[in-house]
């Protein structure tokens, strides 16, 4: 699952880099990337607590700029370790402070933070945001349980996008959250967007209302409750109100609430982490995969267009060749093979030599002009090549039409159209080569049909001998005429009368019905062979893959199978999510 979330995040980041930052989709993608960063970090936390069950309690102090987060951290630590500044955006790195926790207790922390490097607090640089710091607090605090408490960057300043990932990783690591807001900042939309996003993480929360003026507490609390209910479905947590102390300019923790963080820490239940993972992923799953599913729908639509085009190609082939009265010649080729089988065994060699002698002038003329002579291409090959070309032209037109009509997904269709145009010569060349291979291999089926007729004739000896006699007498008559005419045009004259005579005898004989059945079966076999070997196995598979071969930074290219596997992992365990 972690790998799948990272894959989606990478695809979003790649697509975001191509978008205009002024369009709504840009901000929508930016929000989803942030949610995916939370998901990735929360899955990493699941691995961390699985590998290190005694990993120390983690508390994240979060809030907008100038809310006083660092001051609250120092107050809770009873130690001035977190840097405090009146400047907005002063803290840009996550800084952890160990309270009654040693560094040896933090095995697995670096693996969790991944590419983020742990540096000394003094070496953190505003020029590098992929880093964090961990320091030991040597002072014991009565307000804070044993833990690592994190001072975090803001999430609402102009520059917060630069260091937001560090904040997200720290926030996802936290077992509990302290939200610090001031009377000026509690209503900021950025605050409630974050709180809404992390609701599914199930972190016990404490709200600190900092810098309150006397008399404003009830008004701010009522407004805070309203904001919470608008953003989240869980009850408003404990709220600590902290009045602004002008002389010391520091917040003061009410003594009566010193044990509050201990109580909230008791609500932490890491055994529920799997369920919380599942809830968080399920909440955003459909939204994250929306562009992926849109590509799947486009792919299915494209495949439907390909299927329609190939179905029409089969219809065209049947009309323009198999059912065409002048183009179809396959069964005639089978009858020609039958003629060879009908030759009288004792006279076959003599007749063959005589034929070769008579047709020598024609063959010689052909041989002399061989450099320029080209035999007429087979009609079936020509028809198939024309149909293949028409399929590609038709699909290219369909793609451009879709690009114009479907504005939401026009780039997907346009990119596919561009690739199809680029690959058209290669596709045509491959298809033409496949047509030639089919045409040669189908000669076996033609020869098999001739042998079926011949074996059937052997069951009728009288008819067989009659056909052989016809074969011999027609050959002899043709030879006499060929001698008189000098052999020019002998081939046409030998074949045509013989074919007519044999066909008539077969049709009028007792096996006439059988011959018609052989012809029909041969035609059906030819149709099925063209459909499966050429249109389905060749064009179908190649055309289906065209959209998947588009390498565009805006394409997600995540297969339905990958999505199904991820969803299966998401719902695999009733009481938690299995980490893949």
List residues bridging with 148 in a β-sheet: 58, 98
Mean pLDDT of 220-225: 86
Task: Enumerate the β-bridge partners of residue 97.
Answer: 135, 149
* Burial status of residue 7 (CB atoms within 10 A of its CB: 0-12, 13-18, 19 or more): middle
**Which residues face 118 on adjacent strands?**
132
Q: Is residue 343's pLDDT more than 80?
A: no
CA 178 to CA 183: how far, in whole Å? 16
pLDDT of residue 579: 44
Higher pLDDT, 519 or 266: 266
Query: Strand, coil or helix: what is 131?
Result: strand
- Do 440 and 515 lie in one domain? The reply is yes
Mean pLDDT of 438-461: 83
Is residue 561 assigned to a domain?
no
pLDDT tops 50 at residue 482: no
How many Cβ atoms from other residues are within 10 Å of residue 489's Cβ? 14
Burial class of residue 142, CB neighbours in 10 A (0-12, 13-18, 19+): exposed
Q: Name every residue whose Cβ is closer than 8 Å to that of residue 407 and which is 6 or more positions away in sequence.
A: none
Residue burial 422-444, b: 16+ Cβ < 10 Å; e: rest: ebeeebeeebeebbeebeeebee
Q: Is residue 21 one of the residues assigned to a domain?
A: no
Region 474-491 average pLDDT: 44
Q: CA Rg, the chain, in Å?
A: 41
What CATH number is given to the structural domain containing 185? 3.40.50.300
Residues 254 and 313 in one domain: no
pLDDT band at 510 (very low <50, low <70, confident <90, very high): low
Residue 40 covered by a domain? no
- What's the whole-number mean pLDDT along residues 529-542? 89
Q: What's the rounded Cα separation, in Å, for the pair 185 and 182?
A: 5
What DSSP assignment string belongs to 522-550?
Answer: HHHHHHHHIIIIIIIIIIIHHHHHTGGG-
Predicted confidence (pLDDT) at residue 351 exceeds the cutoff of 80: no
Give the chain's mean pLDDT. Answer: 81
> pLDDT tens digit string along 19-33?
888 888 888 988 999
Q: How many domains does the chain divide into?
A: 2
Cβ atoms within 10 Å, residue 237: 16
pLDDT in the model for residue 245: 61
Lowest mean pLDDT among 3-12, 418-427, 478-487: 478-487
* Shared domain check, 231 and 135: yes
Question: Residue 484: which pLDDT band, with cuts at 50, 70 and 90?
Answer: very low
Residue 88 sits in the same domain as residue 153? yes
Residue 4 lies in a domain: no
Helix residue ranges, H only, 116-248: 160-173, 189-197, 217-231
3-state secondary structure of 378: coil
Residue 113 pLDDT > 80: yes
3-state secondary structure of 443: helix
Q: Are 296 and 261 found together in one domain?
A: no
Is 512's pLDDT higher than 80? no
Q: Say what the pLDDT of residue 158 is.
A: 72
Dihedral angle computed from the Cα positions of residues 160, 232, 211 and 257, in that order, rounded to the nearest 10 degrees: -120
Higher confidence at residue 476 or residue 245?
A: 245
* Residue scoring higher pLDDT (386 or 212): 386
For 160-215, the pLDDT digits (tens) are: 778 888 899 999 999 999 999 887 777 788 888 889 988 988 899 999 888 877 77
**Highest-scoring range by mean pLDDT, 147-161, 387-401, 506-520:** 387-401
Does pLDDT of 485 surpass 70?
A: no
Assess whether 233 and 305 both reside in one domain: no
Structural domain includes residue 38: no
Reported as a single tens digit per residue, the pLDDT across 232-290 is 898 999 988 887 665 555 667 777 788 899 999 999 999 998 888 888 999 899 999 99
**204 and 267 Cβ atoms separated by less than 8 Å:** yes
Residue 326 lies in a domain: yes
Q: What pLDDT is attached to residue 267?
A: 92
Q: Which long-range contacts (CB under 8 A, 24 or more apart) does 266-274 make?
A: 267/176, 267/204, 268/57, 268/175, 268/176, 268/204, 270/49, 270/53, 270/175, 272/202, 273/45, 273/46, 273/49, 273/576, 274/46, 274/573, 274/575, 274/576, 274/577
Domain range for 94 is 58-267
Is residue 342 a part of any domain in this protein?
A: yes
- Give pLDDT, residue 244: 66
Residues 248 and 186 placed together within one structural domain of the fold: yes
Q: What is the 3-state secondary structure (H, E, C) of 72-88?
A: HHHHHHCCCCCCCCCCC
Is 296 contained in some domain? yes
pLDDT at 264: 92
* Res. 71 pLDDT band, cuts 50 70 90: confident
Short-list 329, 353, 332, CA closest to 343: 353
Q: What would the two tokens of residue 21 be?
A: 């930052």
Hey, what are 383's tokens? 């028809």
User: Which of 229, 231, 223 has its CA nearest to residue 184?
Assistant: 223
Across 81-85, 87-91, 240-244, least confident range: 87-91
**Do 295 and 396 fall into the same domain?**
yes
pLDDT of residue 307: 93
What does the pLDDT average to over 527-540?
Answer: 90
Yes or no: say if 152 and 62 are a contact pair by the CB < 8 Å rule.
yes
SS3 state of residue 553: coil
pLDDT at 576: 45
pLDDT at 87: 61
Same domain as 340, residue 248: no
Task: Give the whole-angstrom CA distance, residue 531 versus residue 315.
Answer: 10
Q: How far is 201 from 39, CA to CA, in rounded Å?
A: 9
pLDDT reported for residue 505: 58
Residue 361 pLDDT exceeds 50:
no
pLDDT band at 335 (very low <50, low <70, confident <90, very high): confident
Both 111 and 72 in a single domain?
Answer: yes
Average pLDDT of 24-51?
Answer: 91
Regarding whether 519 and 453 lie in a shared domain, the answer is yes
pTM of the model: 0.73
Same domain (yes/no): 226, 339: no
Beta bridge partners of 238: 206
- Tokens matching residue 54: 């005694």
């Amino acid at each position: 699952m972690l790998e799948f979330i990272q894959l989606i995040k990478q695809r979003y980041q790649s697509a975001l880099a191509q978008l205009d930052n002024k369009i709504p989709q840009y901000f929508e993608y930016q929000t989803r990337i942030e949610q995916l960063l939370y998901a990735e970090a929360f899955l990493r936390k699941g691995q961390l607590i699985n590998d290190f069950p005694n990993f120390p309690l983690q508390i994240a102090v979060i809030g907008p700029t100038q809310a006083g987060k660092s001051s609250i951290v120092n107050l809770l630590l009873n130690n001035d370790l977190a840097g405090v500044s009146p400047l907005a955006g002063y803290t840009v790195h996550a800084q952890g402070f160990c309270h009654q926790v040693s560094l040896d207790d933090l095995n697995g922390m670096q693996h969790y933070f991944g590419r983020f490097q742990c540096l000394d607090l003094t070496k953190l640089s505003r020029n590098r945001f992929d880093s964090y710091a961990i320091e030991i607090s040597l002072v014991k605090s009565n307000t804070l349980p044993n833990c690592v408490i994190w001072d975090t960057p803001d999430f609402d300043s102009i520059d917060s996008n630069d260091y937001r990932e560090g904040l997200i990783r720290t926030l996802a690591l936290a077992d509990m959250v302290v939200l610090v807001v001031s009377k000026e900042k509690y209503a900021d939309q950025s605050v409630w967007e974050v709180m809404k996003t992390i609701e599914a993480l199930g972190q016990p929360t404490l709200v600190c209302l900092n810098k309150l003026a006397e008399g404003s507490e009830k008004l701010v609390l009522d407004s805070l409750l309203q904001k919470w209910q608008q953003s989240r479905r869980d009850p408003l947590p404990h709220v600590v109100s902290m009045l602004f102390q002008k002389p010391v300019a520091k917040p003061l923790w009410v003594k009566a609430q010193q044990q509050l963080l201990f109580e909230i820490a008791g609500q932490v239940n890491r055994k529920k982490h799997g369920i919380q993972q599942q809830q968080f992923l399920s909440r955003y799953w459909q939204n994250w995969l929306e562009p992926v599913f849109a590509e799947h729908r486009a792919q299915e639509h494209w495949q439907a267009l390909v299927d329609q085009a190939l179905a029409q190609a089969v219809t065209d082939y049947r009309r323009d060749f198999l059912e065409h009265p002048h183009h179809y010649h396959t069964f005639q080729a089978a009858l020609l093979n039958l003629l060879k089988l009908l030759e009288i065994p004792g006279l076959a060699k003599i007749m063959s030599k005589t034929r070769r002698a008579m047709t020598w002038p024609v063959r010689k003329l052909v041989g002399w002009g061989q450099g320029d002579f080209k035999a007429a291409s087979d009609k079936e090959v020509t028809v198939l090549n024309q149909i293949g070309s028409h399929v590609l032209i038709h699909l290219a037109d369909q793609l451009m039409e879709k690009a114009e009509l479907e504005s939401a997904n026009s780039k997907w269709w346009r990119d596919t159209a561009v690739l199809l145009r680029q690959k058209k010569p290669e596709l045509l060349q491959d298809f033409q080569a496949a047509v030639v291979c089919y045409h040669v291999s189908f000669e076996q089926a033609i020869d098999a049909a001739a042998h079926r007729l011949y074996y059937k004739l052997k069951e009728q000896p009288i008819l067989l001998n009659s056909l052989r006699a016809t074969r011999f007498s027609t050959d002899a008559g043709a030879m006499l005429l060929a001698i008189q005419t000098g052999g020019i045009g002998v081939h046409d004259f030998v074949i045509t009368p013989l074919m007519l005579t044999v066909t008539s005898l077969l049709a009028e004989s007792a096996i006439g019905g059988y011959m018609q059945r052989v012809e029909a079966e041969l035609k059906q076999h030819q149709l099925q062979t063209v459909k499966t070997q050429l249109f389905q196995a060749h064009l179908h598979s190649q055309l289906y893959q065209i959209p998947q071969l588009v390498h565009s930074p805006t394409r997600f290219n995540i297969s339905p199978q990958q999505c199904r596997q991820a969803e299966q992992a998401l719902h695999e365990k009733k009481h938690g999510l299995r980490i893949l």
